[in-house]
Amino acid sequence: MLEILTSILVRTVVAGTPLLLGTMGEVVTERAGILNLGIEGMMSFGAVTGFIVTFTTGNPWLGMIAAIIAGALISLIHAFVTVSLRANQVVSGLALTMLGIGLSGLWGKPYIGRPLSIKMNAIAIPYLSDIPVLGQVLFYQDAYFYLSVGLGVLVWFMIKHTKVGITIRSVGENPKAAETMGINVSMVKYLCVMIGGAFAGMAGAHLSTAYSKSWIEGMTSGRGWIVIALTIFALWEPSKAFIGAYVFGGIFVIQYVLQPLGISPNLLAMLPYLTTLGVLLFYGLSSKGQRKMSAPATLGEPYIRGSR
Amino acid sequence: MSFVIIPREKATPLLNFMILISSLCAGLLAVGIVFLLKGVNPFFAISEIFRASFGSFFGFKETLTKAVPLILIGSGLALVYRAKFWNIGAESQLLVGAIFGTWIGLNWGPSLPGFIILPLMFAGGFIGGGLWGLLPAIFKIKFGINEVISTLMLNYIAAEFVKFLVVGPWKGKTKYGYPYTDDLPAQAVLQHMGNSRVSLALIILAVCVALFLAFLVFRTRFGYEIRVIGENPEAARYAGINFFRTTLIMMFIGGGVAGLAGVGELSSIHLHLSYPETISAGYGFTAIIVAWLGRLHPGFTIFSGLFFAGIIVGGDAIQMSMGMPATTVNVFNGLILIFLIMGDFFINHKVRYQRRVS
């Protein structure tokens, strides 16, 4: 029994890791007032880049770094189009998703069906990993898990307790006031979009070089969209993103736990999406919840410098 | 010397058209660069795409076939995007329409003549897609849920439900191991023209729907309400426009026409329900670009739908002849869409070159 529990928890944490990474990035982006619906595409692009670099160099760390850079670079398109050209953020994000999925399919094709010889291995933290259950769950994971937690805490601290965080929030809430304070609004937005892209790219590389060790088309399977829902679920709070990511990681795992009971796998596969809708409906039931669901004030709106 | 950006009041139709064409060309150029990076001759690849889709009679018939769902869905999306309701769920509205159509066709088809059963299937598909489209509208207005998220989640839910149906309760008795329902009875199948997969009835349906929706948007009070909600929600509130009612009707129609596309695919091409990827081939997403390229004018989606149908057919062709993966078409779609919205900037703004006064 304890073994089953441990295994479920371990897999929950593993499944939650890319969600946590993606959500942290999107929280930063949206806090600066930019909605980036392109997570699925950036994640996919990160997955294929991470895979190809790991495949050719044999070093999953290089794969991770490459995926981070790739994610940040492809997100620049969204930043340019929405910040500099003030284009519609919804449509630009969708276009980015199509582009990311298309490019990764194109570049990844020769690598389909060729597994990595090496992947990001689990690292045991001395002593701590010997604790029953928790040791396996929290202290015997791959580097992506430790990094995602570390980066998550960093994002939380940055947003909540530093001047950088205040700058980002003011750009999202009241860009005109930020501008008069001497903040370069466009630059902050660009950087926050790129941070979001970097996180999404890293989440993708986790899927292709740690969670599994192969590249297949469509391997992100909607995680990018769940990340966007999780950002709302977390009410744009990094601390709540932790809860959301692992709850949804758990829902991914529950599918496989319930399958032997004879429930149709197709109905179980609906669970993450049904839960997402269910949670948002739950928030929406009360007007207090609806108010809480209110996004950063200028989310989705272009900022025009010097306008009144 | 510097650039000054001035908002433009209204662009002339000619300028609008010129910018559209330039955006398309720039998009194709970017696609060419991607091909070049992949070691494929871009001129060859792009000309191959258009040769395969518009350059031969056989190809053009396929293009017409694929244009039907794109025009149906695209015109419906143009309608709801006018109100800035970002329905990304046409893919599943199509599927639910196909589910309704399948049920009607299989259960009532054998005992009814074609001229009754086919309209019934299309009516059922419209209602199915429409009801599925109502959900995100209710979620948005009554629960404050972002429609992008809800329509996407509904996409996954409907797709899994279709899979559940075709491997489970609806699995055809005559289909052995395959995940299909039984085939529709002969009277529930649309006639094709000559030696092709083109159904004249479907083409007429698609064109009529697009023209009707254009009429709705630009010539009726309902269309006016939709446009005001999109352009100036504050004014819409002052004018006493009922957001809930207008959004519901609008999404019922938008989802309904996607449902029609689902029944069209079913009764003309596939003849049975099967895996969602087979039934739809991403029409719900491609139609987003169709709507955008049609400048959210339902009537213009007839042309933009035809154009993108050509890209799909041509994409399939180079996929087979040059060994490109199926997602290549996503690169196409993504890049063209990006350049289209970049073009919007020049429609909405004037850029002047100015000597700095010091």
- For residue B52, being part of any structural domain is answered with no
pLDDT of residue B130: 97
Alpha carbons A274 and A270: distance in angstroms, whole number: 6
- For residue B325, being part of any structural domain is answered with no
- Is the pLDDT at B197 greater than 70? The verdict is yes
The domain tally of chain B equals: 1
Contact criterion met (CB < 8 Å) for A225 and B152: yes
What are the structure tokens assigned to B127, written together? Answer: 């209602």
Taking Cα atoms as reference points, which of A54, A57, A41, A81 lies closest to residue A200? Answer: A41
Task: Give the pLDDT band of residue B357 (cuts 50, 70, 90).
Answer: low
Contact criterion met (CB < 8 Å) for B329 and A99: no
Alpha carbons B242 and B137: distance in angstroms, whole number: 13
- For residue B20, being part of any structural domain is answered with no
- For residue B42, being part of any structural domain is answered with no
Whether the CB of A285 is below 8 Å from some CB of chain B: the reply is yes
Residue from A83, A94, A264, A275 to probe the interface with B (highest B Cβ count within 10 Å):
A94
User: Which residue in A81, A228, A229 is closest to B338 by CB distance?
Assistant: A81
What is the residue-averaged pLDDT of chain A? 89
pLDDT of residue A308: 44
Whether the CB of A87 is below 8 Å from some CB of chain B: the reply is yes
Residues from chain A contacting residue B332 (CB–CB below 8 Å): 102
Residues from chain B contacting residue A37 (CB–CB below 8 Å): 148
- Is the pLDDT at A292 greater than 70? The verdict is no
- For residue B57, being part of any structural domain is answered with no
Q: How many helices (H) and strands (E) does chain A have?
A: 14, 2
Q: Quote the ipTM score.
A: 0.89
User: Which residue in B160, B292, B332 is closest to A91 by CB distance?
Assistant: B292
pLDDT of residue A154: 96
What is the residue-averaged pLDDT of chain B? 90
DSSP structure class, residue B224: H
Q: At what angle do helices B90-108 and B283-293 cross, to 10 degrees?
A: 120
| Nearest-Cα residue of chain B relative to residue A85 | B345
Contacts of B210 (CB under 8 A, 6+ apart): B71, B72, B74, B75, B298, B299, B301, B302, B305
The amino acid sitting at B6 is I
pLDDT of residue A149: 94
- The nearest CA of chain B is from the CA of A293 a distance in Å of 8
Beta strands in A109-225 (DSSP E): 122-124, 140-142
What are the structure tokens assigned to A151, written together? Answer: 């980066």
Mean pLDDT of B172-191: 85
- The nearest CA of chain A is from the CA of B257 a distance in Å of 21
Q: Is residue B161 helix, strand or coil? A: helix
Taking Cα atoms as reference points, which of A106, A128, A87, A125 lies closest to residue A44? Answer: A106
What are the structure tokens assigned to B33, written together? Answer: 């660069």
- The nearest CA of chain A is from the CA of B26 a distance in Å of 14
User: Which residue in A77, A222, A264 is closest to B156 by CB distance?
Assistant: A222
Per-residue pLDDT tens over the stretch B219-234 = 999 999 999 999 888 8
Per-residue pLDDT tens over the stretch A36-81 = 999 999 999 999 999 999 999 999 999 999 999 999 999 999 999 9
Alpha carbons B7 and B2: distance in angstroms, whole number: 16
User: How large a percentage of chain B has pLDDT more than 90?
Assistant: 51
- For residue B342, being part of any structural domain is answered with no
What are the structure tokens assigned to B344, written together? Answer: 């919007």
Per-residue pLDDT tens over the stretch A204-257 = 999 999 988 889 888 888 899 889 888 888 888 999 999 999 998 998 888 888
Structural domain containing residue B154? 67-295
Q: Which CATH architecture has domain A2-292?
A: Orthogonal Bundle (1.10)
Alpha carbons A253 and B263: distance in angstroms, whole number: 35
Residue A167 vs residues A193, A303, B185: alpha-carbon distances, Å: 14, 15, 65
What are the structure tokens assigned to A231, written together? Answer: 């950002």
Q: For tokens 């339902």, what's the residue? A: B298
What are the structure tokens assigned to B290, written together? Answer: 């169709």
Query: Using CB atoms and an 8 Å cut-off, which of residues 1-30 of chain B contact chain A?
Result: none
Task: Give the pLDDT band of residue A6 (cuts 50, 70, 90).
Answer: confident
Alpha carbons A273 and A219: distance in angstroms, whole number: 16
Contact criterion met (CB < 8 Å) for A81 and B150: no
- Is the pLDDT at A291 greater than 70? The verdict is no
Per-residue pLDDT tens over the stretch A130-180 = 887 777 778 878 889 999 999 999 999 999 999 999 999 999 988 989 988
- Asked if B253 and B130 touch (Cβ cutoff 8 Å), the reply is yes
Residue from B330, B339, B340 to probe the interface with A (highest A Cβ count within 10 Å):
B330
* Domain range annotation of chain A: 2-292
Contact criterion met (CB < 8 Å) for A276 and B142: no
End-to-end CA, chain B:
10
Mean pLDDT of B315-343: 85
Mean pLDDT of B90-112: 94
Q: Is residue A215 helix, strand or coil? A: coil
Beta strands in chain A (DSSP E): 122-124, 140-142
Classify residue B173 as exposed, middle or buried by CB count within 10 Å of its CB (0-12, 13-18, 19+): exposed
Q: For tokens 């329509």, what's the residue? A: B151
Count Cβ atoms below 10 Å from residue A161 Cβ, excluding itself: 10
Per-residue pLDDT tens over the stretch B24-82 = 899 989 988 988 888 888 888 888 888 888 888 888 999 999 999 999 999 999 999 99
pLDDT of residue A257: 82
Per-residue pLDDT tens over the stretch A97-120 = 999 999 999 899 889 888 888 888
- For residue B32, being part of any structural domain is answered with no
- For residue B187, being part of any structural domain is answered with yes
Q: At what angle do helices B42-54 and B57-82 cross, to 10 degrees?
A: 90
Q: For tokens 């942290």, what's the residue? A: A24
User: How large a percentage of chain A has pLDDT more than 90?
Assistant: 50
| Nearest-Cα residue of chain B relative to residue A109 | B325
**Candidate ranges A13-27, A241-255, A280-294; pick with highest mean pLDDT:** A13-27
Contacts of B251 (CB under 8 A, 6+ apart): B80, B85, B87, B130, B133, B134, B136, B137
Contact criterion met (CB < 8 Å) for A225 and B153: yes
Contacts of B316 (CB under 8 A, 6+ apart): B52, B326
Per-residue pLDDT tens over the stretch A217-232 = 888 888 998 898 888 8
